[in-house]
Every structure is written in structure tokens, then in C-alpha cells.
Chain A
Amino acid sequence: MLEDKLLFWKFKHGSSDALCRIYEKYKNDLLALAVSLSSNRKDAEDAVQDVFVSFAKSVNRLQLRGSLKGYLLTSVANRVRNLKRNEYKPTTVLDTEEIAAAGRNQPDRLAMSREEVQRISGVLAALPYEQQEVIILHLQSGLKFKQIADEQGVSINTIQSRYRYGLEKIRTLLNSEIEE
């Protein structure tokens, strides 16, 4: 947290090294979030690029209210949302072979079959974007509900409700698949 404050301060005071370090520190988290939300690697890379360029451009007026990580993650989530609004693309479920491969040869807790990955991707994609966003920001990126609420300018109750409804819907979808 302190390191982020120093990095942000250096960034505000003209240090391009600080900008590079911020990118290095959070690039994989941001890309992973964008991939999860957009289900499309190309769009995800575009979203991260847009966020970083606009972050760099806003150096003179930007004031952080919360954490740097929270700010960048919610900026990526917002960017993906805008990309989704602007153009219709059929949702291509991400390369599940690639994802499942990442889980192979790993301890049991991390392992997932290709079918499982495909199934969960499909179920998540069926959720309204706002619910999907909260679930991924919380469970994948590790943001607290309060951080998400603060960054998105909505109440914590709204964020918790989106999370709860989202999980409930996933539960229903997964259980119905089992019963079929």
C-alpha cells in the first residue's frame, strides 16, 4: 500500500519509471480480469491498453480516493463494459484448452478439466454483466466489496446484492445441469 502511494506520487511528479513499475506490478492482474470479463483475448488486451494510456494521460488531474490497484481494476472493468456496449460480438468462450492446461499437473485444488472450465465459463457468461463483474472482481482480483462500491460509486449493499444474486443464479444453473 505504501509502495503504491510512493509509486503514484512519483508518477504524479513526472517519473516515467514509476509508470513502468505500476504497469509491471499490475499487468497480469489487469489482463486476467479483462480476459475473464470479455471472454476475448484481443478485446482484453485492448481494454488494458486503453486504461493504461488514459491513466498516463490523466496524470495531471487524477486523484486517488482508494487504492491504486482498486482504481486500475475497476477502470479495466468499466472499459470492458463500454467495449461490450459499443459493439456486439458473439461471446467466444476463451480458449478453454489453454485455461485447462494451466491447471494440469497442479495440486488438486487448482486442477480443472477442460469440460469443467468450459461449463463454468458458459455459466458466468450467462449472468448479467454487473453480477459477473462483481463476482470476478471479488473472487479473482481479490477486491473487497467496499473497494468495489467506492470505485464504482454505488452502495456496498448494491454490490453485495449483485454478488449474492449472481452466485444464486450460478447455483441454479449448475444444479439444473446436473439434474438434466
Chain B
Amino acid sequence: MKSVEKVESIIRRFCAVKKASVTATDKIDKGILSDALAAYSETKKTQTAEHQPNLWRKIMRSPIMKLAAAAVIIFVIVLGINLSTKPAWAIEQTIEALKHIKAVYISGYTSYKGSGRVPFEVWARPNSKDSSASGDFKLVEGDKHISFSSEKSNLTYVYSKYPTGDVVYITEGLNRSSTPYPTSNLFEQIKALAKNWREDYRRDEITGRDSVFVTFDGMSINDAGYWLFEFDVETKLPVRASVWWDKNYQGQPHIEIDKMIFDNQIPDNTFAFEIPQGAQVIDCRILRNLLDKNSNYGINVDELSAYDSCRKAVTEYWRAVIGRDWAKVTNLRPLAAGQELEHLVAIYEQNEPAELIGITGLNHINDPGTFAEVLYEVRLKNGEIKQGILNVELRLTKMGKIAVIAGSVGPEFNDKK
């Protein structure tokens, strides 16, 4: 007799197989998209052509409405004259002022709950193909982290300083960027998504210039979503910004931007990256290319979250290592083949693992600019406890979503601190 849970699992498996077998062909795409786009453009055209004149005709047919309309026009003209004599600001003016920005520099501080402030600097230029995102991008966060993307080389470098040494990840594509790029697009999106919008006109205490301080609930960054933007009333440009976790704007903000410079000249060498001497280079392209050609590696994780997939891959890996199942180890860790495997086996013979104590942390989950990092603790047969970090790659292949071990960040085993 099958239990309901077993039936659920069978149907889930059936659905996964079925889903993997269905993809839209180019022919279907073209057919559906061309019809949908035609309908879309027709609807938009009809809206602009029909609605406005009809409304105007309705107003002008009624004698009372004719008077009211005349009063509104006079009011707008008078108000317009009055308003033109004093400085005013509207987000649309910022959107206009930021159109066609060619470069941006931002500096400030980030802080995470329970930790101190870390200074950061960002240099960015718009993407040549999509101006809503950056192309060349560099982020320097304290002295422990640099992210760098180059449009020319189409590569991303992510550098981090770990207690065990420096690590540089290299990936193909622009995997670190400012999206949206802080120009018109960003402010259009802010405007569209903001709630509880409040404007407060007063002088900037540092510069003494007329400013507008805008607070709103907007898109959240690491769960912080209460924004304060300061705009210069004369130039219409943003000057400073902060985002808080606290809805009353109390405590430490998550991000404080104290300087925003637009259209400055950024020297070309800003977007050059030199790999620090002695750093471990993790070139993610090697494993990703291998998995694109052969997707029979790793374990299937179709039904698991990224978090659970990483945990499962590392748990299975240690089970295979402890069981000395080297064929399984190579399947889970495809780059550990040939001499690499021999080297790995030698390490495991010297430090024979007996038990995976647990997963102690996960970083860079779902980060295309790196592999995921899974921190673990194992107990050796001699009773010692060792720590380490394994890289896990989650890849969507034609066979479904798979998880593989990419390698180790730093030595395979470190003494527990």
C-alpha cells in the first residue's frame, strides 16, 4: 500500500520529469510574441487616441463644466506664475537631470546588524547595451572586499580577504553591477514603488544649500527599506541617501551614501584589476564550461532550495569521502580527477575524516559572481576537529537542477579556532 506521502512524492517526480520535457520552441515563441506584441501596441494606441479627446469633449459639452474648466485653467496659470518665483522640486526633474549620465561615483558606509560601519566606494559607467544597468563597475568595501566587472573583457572579479588567505573568484559576464544604474531609471522605479512619500524643504546643514529631504518606504536592501534621499533644489541632483531597517529612521542605517558625484571623469585604470600576489584564484569558468558539456555530474536538487541544495551536496560529499567511495567523490567533485584526485586522497589519508559534525555557515548563495561557500566541521579519526569551506555550484542543466562541489576555499582542513 502506498501512503499519501509516497503518492505525493511520485507525482512530484512525474511533474519534474514532465516539466523537463516541455520547452517552447522558437516557432512557438515567435507566434505567441508577435500576436501579444501586436495586441499590446494596438491597446496602447487605442488608449491614447480615444480616452483623452472623449474626456475633453465631455467636459466642453456641459455649460457648468465649461466654466469649471476655465476656472481651472486660470488657476493653473496664476499658480504657475507664483510657483515660478520660488525654487521647487519634483522627482520628474531629477529623472530629467539624470538622463544620459556617463559616469557616477558614490561613497559612504554600510553596516550590518550588530557590526560596525564599513566604508565603501563605487565607480560605475552605464552598460553600452542597457543603460538601466552599469557596465564597468568597481566596489571597494573596507580593506576586505573588492568587486569588479569590466564590460570590455566581459569578466567579473570578486576579491575577498579571509583568515586563511586571499581569494579571487573569476566569472564570465557582468556579475557585479549597479542595477538599476543610479540614473533616471532608478528614480523612475523608486517613484513607481515608493509608499508613504514625504517631502521636507530645508537647508542642508553642511553646504547651506536649499534642499528637499524625501522619505519613503521603497525597495528593500537586505530587509532595510526605509529611505531618505536628499536632493539639491537648484541642480535637482541627489546629494545624499540612507536606508534604514527601522521604520522610524532610528539607529544605524544599513547604507549611508554621503557623496554622489555624477558625470565625473573616471580614469580608465580604475576599471583594471590586478590579482594580489599569493591569492587563491578560483576560476569559475572551468567548472561551468565542464558542466555545460556534461551534465551527468553531481546530485539532482530539483525540489530543493539553494540553501538545502548546498547542504545536501556537502553532506553527500563527506559521506562519500568517509566511505572512501572515490568514484562518487569524483562525480560530486568533477575537477578532482586524475592527479587532483590522488592529491586529495593523500590529504584524506593523512587526516582521515570520521564524521561530518555539521554545516556551520553558507555564503554567496545564488551569487553568479562566485560559487556558493559552505562552511563545515569534521571530526577526524584521531579525534581532532577540523574546519573548512567547500565551494558548491548549482547549475540548471537540461537534466534539471544539479549541485556539484567545485573545490575548497583555502586548505581542505584548518584547525578549529
B39 x A56 contact (CB < 8 A) = yes
Nearest to A121 among chain B residues (CB) is: B14
Given contacts A31-B22, A167-B4, contact A49 B17 (CB under 8 A): no
B16 near A110 with CB under 8 A, answer yes
- Give Cα A103–Cα B13 distance, bound, in whole angstroms: 10
Is A109 on the interface with B (CB-CB < 8 A)?
yes
Given known A60-B43, A99-B18, A112-B17, contact A27–B2 (CB-CB < 8 A):
no
What number of B residues sit within 8 Å (CB to CB) of A? 47
Q: A5 contacts which of B10, B32, B47, B193 (Cβ < 8 Å)? A: B193
Q: By the criterion CB–CB under 8 Å, are A101 and B21 in contact?
A: yes
Residues of A within 8 Å of B402, CB to CB, are: 107
Question: When each residue 93-125 of chain A gets 1 if its CB lies under 8 Å from chain B and 0 otherwise, what string results?
Answer: 010001111110111011110001100110010
Q: Are B37 and A19 in contact, with the CB atoms below 8 A?
A: yes
* A45 proximal to B (CB < 8 A): yes
B23-31, B74-82, B409-417: which lies at the A interface?
A: B23-31
Q: Is B22 a contact partner of A139 (Cβ separation < 8 A)?
A: no
Within 8 A of A (CB), among B210-230: 219
Task: Assess the A59–B399 pair: CB atoms within 8 A.
Answer: no
Cα–Cα, bound, A25→B44 (Å): 23
Cβ of B62 to closest chain A Cβ, rounded Å: 25
Tell me how many residue pairs across A and B have CB atoms closer than 8 Å. 152
Contact A31 B24 (CB under 8 A): yes
Asked whether A28 is an interface residue with its Cβ less than 8 Å from the other chain, the reply is yes
B23 touches A56 (CB 8 A): no
Across the interface, which residues of A come within 8 angstroms of B23, CB to CB? 28, 31
Interface residue count for A (Cβ, 8 Å)? 59
A111 / chain B contacts, CB cutoff of 8 Å? 17
**Once the chains are docked, how many angstroms separate the CA of A32 from the CA of B24?**
9
Chain B nearest Cβ from A140, distance in angstroms = 4
With A16-B37, A48-B32, A57-B39 known as contacts, the answer to whether A110 contacts B8 (CB < 8 A) is no
CA of A139 to CA of B12 in the docked complex: distance in angstroms? Answer: 6
CA distance A6 to B219 in the complex (A): 10
> Does any Cβ of B come within 8 Å of A136's Cβ?
yes
Chain A residues in 8 Å Cβ range of B17: 99-100, 102-103, 110-112, 117
- Do A49 and B15 touch across chains, with their CB atoms under 8 A apart? no
How long is the Cα–Cα vector from A49 to B11 in the complex, in angstroms? Answer: 27
Interface residues of chain B: helix, strand, loop or mixed (majority)? helix
Q: Of B18, B40, B47, which one neighbours A32 at CB under 8 angstroms? A: B18
Residue numbers in A under 8 Å from B299 (CB-CB): 107
Given A139-B12, A167-B4; A45-B28 close (CB under 8 Å): yes
Tell me if B172 is interfacial: C-beta within 8 Å of chain A.
no
Chain A residues within an 8 Å CB radius of B192:
6, 9, 13
A136 contacts B15, C-beta separation under 8 Å: yes
In contact, B8 and A59 (Cβ under 8 angstroms): no
> In the complex, A25 Cα to B182 Cα: how many Å?
25
Q: Does B302 contact A (CB under 8 A)?
A: yes
Indicate if the CB atoms of A52 and B13 lie closer than 8 Å.
no
* 10 cross-chain pairs, A with B, having the tightest CB-CB distances, nearest first: A102-B21, A140-B15, A56-B40, A107-B300, A103-B17, A32-B22, A52-B36, A56-B39, A56-B36, A102-B20
Binding site for B on A (CB under 8 A): 2, 5-6, 9, 13-14, 16, 19-20, 23, 27-29, 31-32, 35-36, 45, 48-49, 52-60, 94, 98-103, 105-107, 109-112, 116-117, 120-121, 124, 135-136, 139-140, 167-168, 170-171, 174-175, 178
Q: Which residues of B come within 8 Å of A, CB atoms?
A: 1-4, 7-8, 10-24, 28-29, 31-33, 35-37, 39-44, 47, 189, 192-193, 219, 296, 299-300, 302, 399-400, 402
